[in-house]
Amino acid sequence: MDISYIINELGEDREKYFNAVAPPIIQTSNFVFNTVAEMRSALQDEYRTYLYSRGKNPTVDILAKKLAALDAAEDCLVFNSGAAAIFAAVLANVKTGDHIISVKEPYAWANKMFTEILPKFGVTTTFVDGREIENFKAAKTNNTTVIYLESPNSWSFALQDLKAVAKFANEHSIITICDNSYCTPIYQQPISLGIDLSLQSATKYISGHSDTIAGVLSGSSKMIERIFKSEYNNIGSGIQPFNAWLLLRGLRTLPLRLEKITATTNTVIQYLKSNNKIEEVIFPLDKDFPQYELATKQMSGACGLITIVLKETELSTIEKFCEAFKHFKMAVSWGGHESLVIPRCAGMAIKNFNHQLKEHRMLRLFIGLEDAAYLINDLETAFATIP
Ligand SMILES: *Cc1c(COP(=O)(O)O)cnc(C)c1O
């Protein structure tokens, strides 16, 4: 489907709301019926009717139609966070005694679900280095029902060969779930590569303005309807109409923002690679990236997030460096208009500090919508603090 059509027209029925260009925010909890028969049929099939906004809501529906089309999926659900989308996708496909194979170091809250919550219900997880398909094959047991992927990882950018993993999983009736937050469906479509469920944190690029938390889960109509009728409604974590409206607003400029961020990222990378205070610049579409070939095969682009490893080993100097930025803000998250820096050492306990490891020398930059020269200037200011 044409992306301009998806973003500007799909799902919008303007004659229903005074030909307004921007859709209304249908901020209602419930919907009225004129006959008992109508109400009965709504209660019997909430997936296809407006009954109660924990389930279906017209503003959310406009957004969902667009997001499913962007994912090349039959349908999708929009959640009040990416974490909720992850939880529902996994919970819907496991029962006591089941086994999950997950890529190692997935998103922190996915990791917590695998290591702390699911074991309470007898669901176990094996973490594998997802860069080799053989590792998935070796970890499979007779009870494996889910393979959980995140490609690229949002810190190391480690990739999985999505087509190959999907093929292997399919042969064994294992459900594949892929966190696609890094690429968005603009740069990668896991479902087109054979993955069953694709999810993303819409908080990042879809919103794009650092003002909404949301998540998307896309898949077949059958799977999405099943999750809607169970986990989605039961956890009650569907997106609110106003937040859905903010995402619709963000979506209008998604391709444009990614284009600008991609161009700026490439300029900033050239600067970083020429900087002799940096040991390593990690970016999946850089020719020096170990999985560069796979990245170019399954992703049509990459942008925004860059991990760098400083040569400096002194923690206090690294901290001063991070605090010296004037324009890069120190904060978690990414995908908004503002450029960000997040030092790995901020997530490390000082008492078990090991200066030998390179981990504390790692920082992740997010390139926002500012101009390249403005950002490079800021990087130079910060680098001047390192002797
Ligand atoms: C942010 C993020 C999530 C979680 O999304 P929220 O909207 O914050 O709940 C999941 N996966 C990745 C890779 C993320 O960066």
Verify that 166 and 30 share a domain, yes or no.
yes
Verify that 350 and 301 share a domain, yes or no.
yes
Read off the CATH number of the domain in which 160 is found: 3.40.640.10
Q: Please report which helix (H) or strand (E) contains residue 235, including its range.
A: helix 233-235
Express each pLDDT in 88-138 by its tens digit.
999 999 999 999 999 999 999 999 999 999 999 999 999 999 999 999 999
Residue 264 has a pLDDT of: 98
- Global pTM reads 0.97
Into how many domains does the chain fold?
2
Residue 352 has pLDDT above 80, yes or no: no
Rounded mean pLDDT, 281-305: 97
- Best substitution site from 201, 235, 247 to test ligand 1's pocket, by max atoms within 8 Å of Cβ? 201
Read off the CATH number of the domain in which 331 is found: 3.90.1150.10
Verify that 199 and 339 share a domain, yes or no.
no
Measure 86 CA to ligand 1 centroid, in angstroms: 9
Verify that 20 and 154 share a domain, yes or no.
yes
- Rg from Cα positions in the chain: 22
Q: Does 151 contact ligand 1 (Cβ within 6 A)?
A: no
Instruction: Supply φ then ψ for residue 368, to 5 degrees.
Output: -95, -145
- pLDDT category of residue 263 using cuts at 50, 70 and 90: very high
Give dist(CA 203, CA 257) in Å, integer.
14
Q: Which residue has a Cα nearest atom 11 of ligand 1?
A: 107
Express each pLDDT in 357-379 by its tens digit.
788 899 999 999 999 999 999 99
Rounded mean pLDDT, 317-324: 96
Residue 359 has a pLDDT of: 87
Helix (H, G, I), strand (E, B) or coil at 58: helix
Rounded mean pLDDT, 142-161: 97
Verify that 260 and 217 share a domain, yes or no.
no
Verify that 70 and 186 share a domain, yes or no.
yes
Residue 7 has a pLDDT of: 98
Rounded mean pLDDT, 336-358: 85
Q: How far is CA 274 from CA 86, 280, 310, 380, in A?
A: 38, 11, 13, 12
Tokens of 353: 């500090």
Share of the chain above pLDDT 70, in %: 99
Q: What is the DSSP string of 278-307?
A: EEEEE-TTSTTSTTHHHHHHH-S---SEEE
Q: Is the N-terminal amide bond of 152 cis, ω within 30° of 0?
A: yes
167-198 residues labelled b (16+ CB within 10 A) or e (exposed)? ebbeeeebbbbbbbbbbbbbbbbbbebebbbb
Q: Are residues 139 and 101 in contact, defined by beta-carbon separation less than 8 angstroms? A: yes
Instruction: Supply φ then ψ for residue 199, to 5 degrees.
Output: -135, 160
Q: Please report which helix (H) or strand (E) contains residue 146, including its range.
A: strand 144-150
Express each pLDDT in 79-89 by its tens digit.
999 999 999 99
Verify that 239 and 272 share a domain, yes or no.
no
Give dist(CA 31, CA 53) in Å, integer.
8
Verify that 135 and 229 share a domain, yes or no.
yes
Verify that 230 and 99 share a domain, yes or no.
yes
Residue 6 has pLDDT above 90, yes or no: yes
Among residues 206, 236, 252, which one ends one of the domains? 252
Neighbouring C-alpha atoms within 13 Å toward the C-beta of 93: 25
Q: Which residue has a Cα nearest atom 6 of ligand 1?
A: 82
Give the structural domain span for 70: 3-252
- pLDDT category of residue 1 using cuts at 50, 70 and 90: confident
Rounded mean pLDDT, 30-43: 97
Mean pLDDT of the chain: 97
Among residues 231, 252, 273, which one ends one of the domains? 252
Give dist(CA 278, CA 272) in Å, integer.
7
Residue 274 has pLDDT above 80, yes or no: yes
- pLDDT category of residue 354 using cuts at 50, 70 and 90: confident
Q: Does 82 contact ligand 1 (Cβ within 6 A)?
A: yes
Residue 289 has a pLDDT of: 98
Verify that 223 and 292 share a domain, yes or no.
no
Closest CA to 33 of 10, 19, 5, 52: 52
Q: Which residue has a Cα nearest atom 1 of ligand 1?
A: 201
Q: Are residues 72 and 191 in contact, defined by beta-carbon separation less than 8 angstroms? A: yes
Q: Does 212 contact ligand 1 (Cβ within 6 A)?
A: no
Q: How many of the other CB atoms lie within 10 Å of CB of 211? A: 13
Express each pLDDT in 193-250 by its tens digit.
999 999 999 999 999 999 999 999 999 999 999 999 999 999 999 999 999 999 999 9
Q: Residue 359 pairs with which residues in a beta bridge?
A: none
Among residues 252, 277, 293, which one ends one of the domains? 252
